[in-house]
Amino acid sequence: MSERKTRVWLTSLAVGCTISFLLTAAMWKTHYGFWLPGSQPGWLLAWATRVVRPASGWENSSGIAVVTAGNAAFYAWIFSRVLRAEILARGNLSRYFLR
């Protein structure tokens, strides 16, 4: 993989993890986790996992870990799409990613 692609993927992963950890921290602090439909797609992953394995005894922390991982993957994917569009449009960020 080229250095440019690696830089885009690592930046996307870092932003996705940051957003996910902020959502998880807010969820733990407020004890309320689902604000708007679609804002935390990790919940869909957690629900799907629960449907597939209903007898799995989840503790609170393992369910939150699944939600955090799902959110991180989703927001990393979204940010990679945003970065690709920015690079193709030769915007301000493209100077950093195309050198």
What is the tally of structural domains in the chain? 1
What does 55-94 look like in DSSP terms, one character per residue? T----HHHHHHHHHHHHHHHHHHHHHHHHHHHHHTT-TTH
Query: What range does the domain containing 12 cover?
Result: 3-97
Other C-beta atoms within 10 Å of 73: how many? 17
This prediction's pTM: 0.74
pLDDT in tens, the chain (99 residues): 577 778 888 888 899 999 888 888 887 787 776 655 566 677 777 777 767 666 665 566 677 787 788 888 888 999 989 888 887 887 776 666 666
